[in-house]
Each structure stands twice: as C-alpha cells, then as structure tokens.
Amino acid sequence: MPDPDPFPALAHFLDAYMHLDWAEEDADLPEVVARFRSVEPAAAIAATRDDIRRFLRQPDAEAAYARSFPMAPVPGGWNLSARQWLEWLETLLG
C-alpha cells in the first residue's frame, strides 16, 4: 500500500508551523524556520529538506503544491512561485 502522504516531513512543517495563523506567532518565514529548527530534532529538519528536494523534482511544482497542500500558505503572498518559495524554505532550513 503506498504512503498516503509522500512528503510527510514537509506536510508536518506546513501543518504545524505554517498554519492559518502562523503570523500571530512569527513575523516572517525566517522566524518560522528558526522556531522549527529550535524545536524539532535534526532528523526532522533533514527529512523536511529531503522532502522539499524530492517535491521539487516534480515537473509542475506549482500545481502539485496547490494539490498536495491546499491549506498551506500561498507562496504568491511573498511574490514567489511555489518552486521559489520552497527553494527559499530549503535554504533557510540550512
């Protein structure tokens, strides 16, 4: 049986840290990532980075992001495509 969530670490980050009221807890994405890095174990951070890399291998990251993470923030709010936003997130994760 296939994994129902092929990107579980990325989904966890988006659900737990980038929820609808994330801006009430952190001022911007770098602060969100800093909080994530301070709370989560190194293995979870690495798994999130790996999920992002695998996710970006898809031919149409824009449609895949909207389809895979319908409740996640819309990268257009940062004037970025989903690919650009995920690449930024990957960079922030270190």
What would the mean pLDDT of 50-61 be, rounded to a whole number?
94
Contact 48, 93 (CB under 8 A): yes
Q: Is residue 1 part of a domain?
A: no
Residue 46 within any structural domain of the chain: yes
Distance (Å, whole) CA 81 – CA 13 = 18
| pLDDT class of 57 with cuts at 50, 70, 90 | very high
Q: What is the mean pLDDT of residues 60-78?
A: 89
| Pairwise CA distance, residues 1 & 19, whole Å | 29
How many domains, in total, are found in the chain?
1
| Token pair recorded at residue 71 | 């409740």
Residues sharing a CB contact under 8 Å with residue 51, sequence separation 6 or more, in sequence order: 7, 8, 9, 10, 11
Range of 45's domain? 8-93
